[in-house]
Amino acid sequence: MRISVSSDMDEPVARTLVDELRARGHEVAVHGALSPGADPQWAVCSEAAAREVAAGTADQAVVCCWTGTGASIAANKVPGVRAALCTDAYTADGARRWNDANVLALSLRLTSAPLLKEILDAWFTAEASEDAEDRENVARVGRLDTGRA
């Protein structure tokens, strides 16, 4: 799977994230502070990662900033992106399962290496629900991108 990763700061958890994704066999594209010379502003690098998902050049993305909030807001402005700020494995599982989230947002401040691995385990294990109500909710969110909800 190709995963686009962005971070506005070159923090240990961001580097651990990239290493962990590669160790799990994913191809990783990096943006922001993780890519020398790239613009590290959270809005810029989160948008870049999200646009790769929307364009289909990345299967998913992980966007990071100090709280994770700004990164998730920026990513969610890109049509076709469903970014979820996850601070625990249960939330990551639910975001993938019920919301069919395609972008994981993480806090650089709150996410430790062990917690990161739990969140990634949940994120990559969960599959989107096939329940009709869940699918309709996801479809409605998609229609919000076009203004035809």
Task: Evaluate whether 53 touches 31 at the Cβ level (below 8 Å).
Answer: no
Report the half-sphere exposure of 101 (CA within 13 A, side-chain side): 26
Whether residue 64 lies in the annotated active site: no
Structure token pair of residue 121: 């385990």
Please give the Cα distance from 60 to 36 (Å, whole number): 22
Please give the Cα distance from 133 to 59 (Å, whole number): 24
Describe the strand order of the beta sheet including 60-65 as a list of residue ranges.
Answer: 27-32, 2-7, 60-65, 103-107, 83-85
From the list 45, 64, 65, 86, the catalytic residue is 65
The strand pair at 2-7 and 27-32 is best described as parallel
Q: Which residues are catalytic?
A: 65
